[in-house]
Amino acid sequence: GDSVTQMEGPVTLSEEAFLTINCTYTATGYPSLFWYVQYPGEGLQLLLKATKADDKGSNKGFEATYRKETTSFHLEKGSVQVSDSAVYFCALSEDSNYQLIWGAGTKLIIKP
Amino acid sequence: DTGVSQDPRHKITKRGQNVTFRCDPISEHNRLYWYRQTLGQGPEFLTYFQNEAQLEKSRLLSDRFSAERPKGSFSTLEIQRTEQGDSAMYLCASSQWGDRGFYEQYFGPGTRLTVT
């Protein structure tokens, strides 16, 4: 079945460092791909999405590009801030509004 | 409308008891989803509704789990004869749905269940 694998955390970086959180997937068809973020004490929020190959999703300085050839959707940010500290989840959906299949999450800690 | 709400936020129960959780979606959303999240894992899809119709329930974890959305607005998730393995965060999400393609799922804060 479909699955999502993302790098284990926690990932600890200094403020202004470059961030990459790896995400790879297996799917039978052509899924849509998502990054969700969960800030401490808050619910899950959609960060960005891409619905077809080579699409780039972006939001709040974060970017991820849908790479069909490597089945990847890595999350990047050029300069992280302390406020980016959160748990980041990669997810896919074979149906655009049906069930989401999730990675295990990656905890990001940014130190000032 | 301030978003998806869930009640209670925390529930502690003894093994063997029944529990019911409530989810109130964003008012104009016609789809409602339930997920379970255990510590250190991503959410796991359980079931979803479009209006009052439950369109997928094969992923409910056992026949002890059931969900309803009787009037197409709020939904309840019931777990009968709880077991310690049911301890988890139960998440609700809602979205619109139509023929436009992608519709974002908005998540509630979750109900944390502890079975002792």
CB contact under 8 A, A96 and B40: no
Q: Would the pLDDT of A29 be above 90?
A: no
CB contact under 8 A, A100 and B97: no
- Identify the CA nearest to B49 among candidates B28, B73, B78: B73
CB < 8 Å to A101, chain B: 45
CB contact under 8 A, A99 and B56: yes
- Mean of pLDDT over chain B: 91
Dihedral sign of CA atoms B78, B81, B84, B85 in order: negative
Question: Measured between CB atoms, which of A42, A51, A101 is closest to B102?
Answer: A51
Chain A, 31 to 70: residues with Cβ < 8 Å from chain B are 32, 42-46, 49, 51
Chain B, 52 to 71: residues with Cβ < 8 Å from chain A are 56, 59
- Identify the CA nearest to B23 among candidates B91, B70, B83: B91
Phi, psi for residue B95 in degrees, rounded to 5: -155, 165
Q: Residue A73 has what pLDDT?
A: 98
Q: Would the pLDDT of A59 be above 90?
A: yes
Q: Which residues contact B108 (CB under 8 A, 6 or more apart)?
A: A43, B3, B4, B5, B6, B23, B91, B92, B93
Task: Count other C-beta atoms under 10 Å from residue A50's C-beta.
Answer: 21
Q: Residue B39 has what pLDDT?
A: 87
Return the bridge partners of A63, or none: A58, A76
Find the angle CA(A84)-CA(A87)-CA(A91) to the nearest 5 degrees. 115
Distance from CA of B115 to the nearest CA of A (A): 22
Q: Over range A53-58, report the average pLDDT.
A: 96
CB contact under 8 A, B42 and A103: yes
List pLDDT tens digits, range B39-93: 888 999 899 999 999 888 877 888 999 999 988 899 999 999 999 999 999 999 9
Q: Residue B102 has what pLDDT?
A: 63
Q: Would the pLDDT of A98 be above 70?
A: no
